[in-house]
Amino acid sequence: MPDVHAKLSASGAKRWMSCPPSAELESQFPDKSSEYAEEGTFAHSLAELILRYNNKELTKKTFTTRLNRLKKDHYYSPELQEYIEDYANLVWEQVNEAKVSCPDAQALFEQRLDFSEYVPKGFGTGDVVIIADDLVQVIDLKYGKGVGVSAEGNPQLRLYGLGAYLEHSMLYDIQRVKMTIIQPRLDNISTEELTVEELLTWAETEVKPKAELAMKGEGEFCTGDHCRFCKAFAVCRVQKDRQMELMKYEFAEGDLLEDSEIGDILSKLDPLVKWAEAIKAYAFDQALSHGVHYDGWKLVEGRSNRKYADEKQAATVLEEAGYQDIYKLKGFTDMEKLVGKKRFAELLSDLIIKPEGKPVLVSEKDKRPELNKAEQVKDEFSDDDYDCAREMREYKQAHDGSLGGPSY
Ligand code: SF4
């Protein structure tokens, strides 16, 4: 499960450890869920159910009832279940391996892992914790299929490991901590193992001082890959300076760019494009949800595509008019070419509808009338219609909790 609402969360540790003041800056922005996050949460629920059943914590009847309930969920698919079963099998291999050396090995699921000894109010949730003799292992499921995430030096995983050690060190003589990420959709398994001494040294010398700075909103702003998942990314001034710096370029003489210059420019474009998209998404969201007005810009109804109100009836009308099989062709433009624009309209105008377009933020010069008030826009478009905005907002969460992003 994601580490929601913790200011210094484990999932955001890469960011706040690299840029301590980002924690304070981020607290000015609301938490936003996303379909990716919700799908990740669902995948974790299914994983927990399967693992608890494997661990004989549930009867077959309870397991089946709960599984059937999950199967009715919007996010359920047989494909998702297959991935999660693969993940559960991998977890079970680790549990069995632990039991070979230690028959009393324990497997715990969805454990709250408290590391507040080092990070104020710091806690996370360990998907799986296995304790066997002198070894504690945490396993983290990441359901996204974005980039592969390494466990090596990963602060999120290390904080989970730290929490697991602190939780169980009273009862067990733990000497080693193993941290594993499993990404079933990417076939990625990554592991780091540290001695307890190494982990505690890292926590004392790296985590603690940075957490103290982050809590106070102090320290140096620092840009880097960790910015991708920062809520302040679009409007962070240091980020703006970095982007401007990246674009500084000494051009050669001549009317046309050299190939070598184009190559150099291309290598700088990706971060710039991501930043530009983040600003567009931020401005759109502010205009749509909060009625913010930006000089020279306005919200209008976006374009939408025509569709048949009733496909079967449209096919019948065309067939009765002598156009046998023609309806199988897709696309209105092709149909108009074949039937003739005028005739097509005569036959089918009553059966063609044009849904309302989703709002878009455009230049004031655009001829379409402005959708004035945020309330009006909200009333006219249901939540489902916000997919476009959501897609823009969520590109940065797409996914996988890499580099300090959400852990789904
Ligand atoms: S965008 Fe980057 S530099 Fe700016 S606050 Fe966030 S993490 Fe720090």
pLDDT in tens, 352-399: 888 888 999 999 999 999 986 545 555 444 333 333 333 333 333 333
Q: Which of 22, 235, 237, 243 to mutate to test the pocket of ligand 1 (most atoms within 8 A of CB)?
A: 22
- Report the range out of 150-159, 270-279, 302-311 with the highest average pLDDT: 150-159
Residue 206 scores a pLDDT above 80: yes
Q: Which residue has the higher pLDDT, 251 or 10?
A: 10
Mean pLDDT score, 161-167: 97
Strands 135-141 and 176-183: what pairing?
A: parallel
Q: Which of 28, 226, 236 to mutate to test the pocket of ligand 1 (most atoms within 8 A of CB)?
A: 236
Measured by CA distance, the residue closest to atom 7 of ligand 1 is 227
d(CA 230, ligand 1 centre) in Å = 6
- Closest to 312 measured CA to CA, from 348, 278, 277: 348
Rounded to the nearest 10 degrees, what angle do helices 311-320 and 341-348 cross at?
120
Residue 212 scores a pLDDT above 90: yes
Residue 407 scores a pLDDT above 60: no
How many Cβ atoms from other residues are within 10 Å of residue 78's Cβ?
8
Mean pLDDT score, 217-231: 93
Q: What is the pLDDT of residue 255?
A: 87
Q: What is the pLDDT of residue 140?
A: 97
Sign of the dihedral defined by the CA atoms of residues 257, 258, 263, 265, in that order? negative
d(CA 59, ligand 1 centre) in Å = 48
Residue 3 scores a pLDDT above 70: no
d(CA 217, ligand 1 centre) in Å = 12
Distances (CA, A) of 48 to 4, 60, 268: 18, 15, 42
Ligand 1 pocket, residues with Cβ under 6 angstroms = 15, 19, 22, 25, 221-223, 226-227, 230, 232-233, 236, 238-239
d(CA 11, ligand 1 centre) in Å = 15
Which positions ≥6 away from 30 have C-beta within 8 Å? none
Residue 76 scores a pLDDT above 70: yes
d(CA 228, ligand 1 centre) in Å = 9
Residue 119 scores a pLDDT above 60: yes
Nearest-atom number in ligand 1 for the CA of 25 is: 5
Residue 238 scores a pLDDT above 70: yes
d(CA 272, ligand 1 centre) in Å = 15
Q: Which of 11, 210, 227 to mutate to test the pocket of ligand 1 (most atoms within 8 A of CB)?
A: 227
Mean pLDDT score, 208-236: 94
Half-sphere exposure of 223 (CA within 13 A, CB side): 17
Mean pLDDT score, 331-345: 85
Q: What is the pLDDT of residue 275?
A: 93
Among 70-74, 230-234, 348-352, 389-393, the least confident range: 389-393
DSSP E strand boundaries for 56-122: 106-114
Helices (H), 248-300: 259-290
CB 241 within 8 A of CB 221: no
Residue 252 scores a pLDDT above 80: no
- What value, to the nearest 5°, has the Cα angle with vertex 78 and ends 74 and 84? 95
The Cα 393–Cα 281 span in angstroms is 5
Output phi, psi for 185, to 5 deg: -80, -15
Measured by CA distance, the residue closest to atom 2 of ligand 1 is 227
The Cα 395–Cα 378 span in angstroms is 22
Q: What is the pLDDT of residue 389?
A: 35
Q: What is the pLDDT of residue 329?
A: 58
Nearest-atom number in ligand 1 for the CA of 237 is: 4
- Report the range out of 4-8, 123-127, 349-353 with the highest average pLDDT: 123-127
CB 407 within 8 A of CB 401: yes
d(CA 220, ligand 1 centre) in Å = 10
Please give the DSSP secondary-structure letter assigned to residue 304: -
Residue 70 scores a pLDDT above 60: yes
d(CA 219, ligand 1 centre) in Å = 12
H or E segment to which residue 214 belongs: helix 208-216
3-class secondary-structure state, position 335:
helix
The Cα 242–Cα 275 span in angstroms is 10
Residue 379, class by beta-carbon neighbours within 10 Å (0-12 exposed, 13-18 middle, 19+ buried)? exposed
Among 47-56, 262-271, 296-305, the least confident range: 262-271
- Which tokens belong to 332? 């209105």
The Cα 109–Cα 112 span in angstroms is 9
3-class secondary-structure state, position 132:
strand
The Cα 319–Cα 341 span in angstroms is 17
Residue 29, class by beta-carbon neighbours within 10 Å (0-12 exposed, 13-18 middle, 19+ buried)? middle
Please give the DSSP secondary-structure letter assigned to residue 154: -
- Which tokens belong to 291? 């009625």
Amino acid code (one letter) for 404: G
Measured by CA distance, the residue closest to atom 1 of ligand 1 is 233
The Cα 321–Cα 315 span in angstroms is 10
- The pLDDT tens digits of the residues spanning 78-94 come to 999 999 999 999 999 99
Among 144-148, 213-217, 361-365, the least confident range: 144-148
CB 145 within 8 A of CB 399: yes
Q: Which of 225, 228, 238 to mutate to test the pocket of ligand 1 (most atoms within 8 A of CB)?
A: 238
Q: What is the pLDDT of residue 176?
A: 97
The Cα 348–Cα 354 span in angstroms is 13
Nearest-atom number in ligand 1 for the CA of 230 is: 6
Mean pLDDT score, 335-357: 87
The Cα 378–Cα 360 span in angstroms is 13
Q: What is the pLDDT of residue 376?
A: 53
CB 270 within 8 A of CB 278: no
Nearest-atom number in ligand 1 for the CA of 242 is: 3
Q: What is the pLDDT of residue 246?
A: 79
Residue 328 scores a pLDDT above 70: no
d(CA 245, ligand 1 centre) in Å = 15
What is the percent of the chain where pLDDT is above 90? 62
Residue 261 scores a pLDDT above 60: yes
Residues for the chain: how many in total?
408
Measured by CA distance, the residue closest to atom 3 of ligand 1 is 223
